[in-house]
């Protein structure tokens, strides 16, 4: 890249605090693209939810800084961002969440999932959203200060945890095996992203 002077930056941004939200929103747009591809696959709703978690894992491993950006977006760093950036961020956040909620609603329609009284679609969606976000954050760092064993495998743990949550809601299991579906995701839906990881020598199992 070239050299940019302060005056050049302020042509496009109201103040320096507006630069960070721009990059964060761009990352969120890319994540939504992966989510959209995940839920567009022909599969059970349960496998689609699995695909969303896998898609988010892919986005983080491909660009680890994306996780830091999206984590910091939940702090006061957005307080000084322009209203336009904040509105865009909220719109993208809603789209990501609604993607999860849409899969839960599909599962209910297909009778894969029956919610207990008092449990909403939003409650279930937030459980998956938070679990994936948190598990990746806790296991991505090599030092694993959260107390996870050194043998913890990032991909395996994300998949295991999403299954724990789905099993907790008694979400019916599809006929297609989970392993076969994951192989399909890697070979077809996210083939380009997997190829990029291989080209960089990055292991999806460890994230490094």
Query: In whole angstroms, how far apart are CA 10 and each of 3, 4, 17, 66, 80?
Result: 14, 10, 11, 24, 15
Give the C-alpha separation, 52 to 36, whole Å. Answer: 8
Banded model confidence at residue 161, pLDDT cuts 50, 70, 90:
very high
Q: Give Cβ neighbours of residue 111 (< 8 Å, ≥ 6 apart).
A: 172
% of the chain residues with pLDDT over 70: 80
Q: Looking at residue 103, what is its pLDDT?
A: 97
pTM for this predicted structure? 0.82
The Cβ-side half-sphere exposure at 157, using a 13 Å CA radius, reads 21
Identify which has the larger pLDDT, 171 or 204. 171
Banded model confidence at residue 108, pLDDT cuts 50, 70, 90:
very high
Q: Give Cβ neighbours of residue 116 (< 8 Å, ≥ 6 apart).
A: none
Whether 11 shows a pLDDT value over 60: the answer reads: no
Q: Tell me if 57 sits within 8 A of 132, measured CB to CB.
A: yes
Whether 110 shows a pLDDT value over 60: the answer reads: yes
Whether 22 shows a pLDDT value over 50: the answer reads: yes
The Cβ-side half-sphere exposure at 22, using a 13 Å CA radius, reads 10
φ/ψ of 142, rounded to 5, equals -65, -30
Give the C-alpha separation, 130 to 202, whole Å. Answer: 25
Least confident of 66-75, 115-124, 176-185: 66-75
Mean pLDDT, rounded, of the chain: 83
Q: Looking at residue 74, what is its pLDDT?
A: 65
Banded model confidence at residue 64, pLDDT cuts 50, 70, 90:
confident
5-18: average pLDDT: 52
């Amino acid at each position: 890249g070239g050299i940019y002077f302060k005056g050049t930056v302020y042509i496009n941004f109201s103040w320096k605090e507006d630069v960070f939200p721009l990059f964060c929103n761009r990352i969120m747009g890319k994540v939504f693209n992966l989510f959209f591809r995940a839920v567009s696959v022909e599969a059970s709703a349960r496998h689609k939810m699995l695909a969303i978690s896998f898609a988010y894992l892919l986005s983080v491993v491909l660009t680890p800084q994306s996780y830091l950006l999206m984590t910091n977006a939940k702090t006061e760093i957005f307080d000084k961002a322009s209203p336009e950036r904040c509105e865009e961020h909220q719109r993208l956040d809603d789209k990501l969440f609604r993607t999860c909620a849409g899969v839960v609603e599909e599962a209910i329609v297909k009778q894969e999932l029956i919610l207990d009284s008092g449990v909403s679609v939003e409650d279930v969606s937030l459980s998956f959203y938070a679990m994936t976000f948190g598990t990746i954050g806790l296991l991505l760092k090599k030092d694993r200060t959260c107390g996870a064993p050194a043998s913890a495998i990032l991909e395996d743990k994300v998949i295991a945890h999403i299954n724990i949550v789905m099993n907790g809601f008694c979400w019916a299991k599809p006929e297609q095996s989970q392993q076969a579906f994951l192989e399909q995701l890697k070979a077809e839906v996210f083939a380009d992203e997997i190829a990029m990881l291989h080209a960089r020598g990055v292991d999806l199992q460890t994230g490094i």
